[in-house]
Amino acid sequence: MPRRMFDFRCEDFHTTERFIDTTIKSVECEVCGEKAVRIISPVACKLDAISGDFPGESIKWARNHESASRIHNNP
């Protein structure tokens, strides 16, 4: 059976992460021992700052890049 990383949460809001078979829908909570069910966890992703969606980040990158080039070009 395929295995994946899933998050589980019990009724007391303890969250745990397990590498487990995809067919398993609940486990025992590691903190309180109650039943913890599989939840949909938020995805951790970072959007491309250069795309223009985050102009502040693009300006910051350009400033840092310009500053680094000045440091390397000045003996």
Spans in the chain with pLDDT lower than 50: none
Model pLDDT, residue 55: 60
18 & 34 share domain: yes
Owning domain of residue 51: 45-75
Looking at residue 14, its pLDDT comes to 94
Domain tally for the chain?
A: 2
If asked whether residues 31 and 51 sit together in one domain, one would say no
User: For the segment 35-46, what is each residue's pLDDT rounded down to a tens digit?
Assistant: 999 999 777 665
d(CA 5, CA 27) in angstroms, rounded, equals 13
- Of 52, 21, 20, 17, nearest to 31 by C-alpha is 17
Distances (CA, A) of 6 to 27, 46, 55, 72: 11, 21, 34, 46
> Are residues 34 and 55 both part of a single domain?
no
Task: Indicate if 13 and 29 belong to the same structural domain.
Answer: yes
